[in-house]
Amino acid sequence: MMKTSIVQRGRNYIWQGKRYMNMSIFLKYLLAWLPMMVIAVGNGTLRDLGYKKYVGELIAHQVSTLTLIFFLSIYVRYIVSAIPPASSKQALFLGIVWLLLTLSFEFGLGLARGRSWASLLADYDLLHGRLWLLVPVFITIAPYIFLKLR
């Protein structure tokens, strides 16, 4: 019944659990992910061309992880205030979509650049001081956190 009325109104919706999300909002969220990758690449460039030679690779990656989370916090807070998710579930759905896009980008680019799976996964090894796992976790929960902080 609900599906029929949605089709009659002529709008495009994407199924999300027991609700529909307006497709134009979903596309805005997808497009909002692109600057996140620009921020991440810029942050990595700053690390590699800036302070890495002074502090070493491990500390540089740790600092870079924390600065990336800081920069992404500013950006995601802006996105959530400009295009607020309709609910907590929608915010979590958004975070999961951003997570999948981020991991696809990261592993796709890494493999295209000739890195092995082992070296890509090594960045996720918390026991060896690699903090990169915090970034995908943050990307996943950030929309929910900033929705709740509004």
Q: List, for residues 70-86, the tens digit of each pLDDT value.
A: 999 999 999 999 999 98
Where are the chain's structural domains? 25-149
Token duo for residue 136: 């995908």
- Amino acid letter, residue 5: S
Supply the pLDDT for residue 4: 39
Where does the pLDDT of residue 137 fall: very low under 50, low under 70, confident under 90, or very high at 90 and above?
A: very high
Answer yes or no: is pLDDT of 14 > 80: no
Helices (H), 47-87: 52-55, 57-82
Supply the pLDDT for residue 20: 52
Answer yes or no: is pLDDT of 2 > 80: no
- Amino acid letter, residue 91: A
pTM: 0.82
Answer yes or no: is pLDDT of 12 > 90: no
d(CA 40, CA 123): 15
pLDDT in tens, 73-120: 999 999 999 999 989 999 999 999 999 999 999 999 999 999 999 999
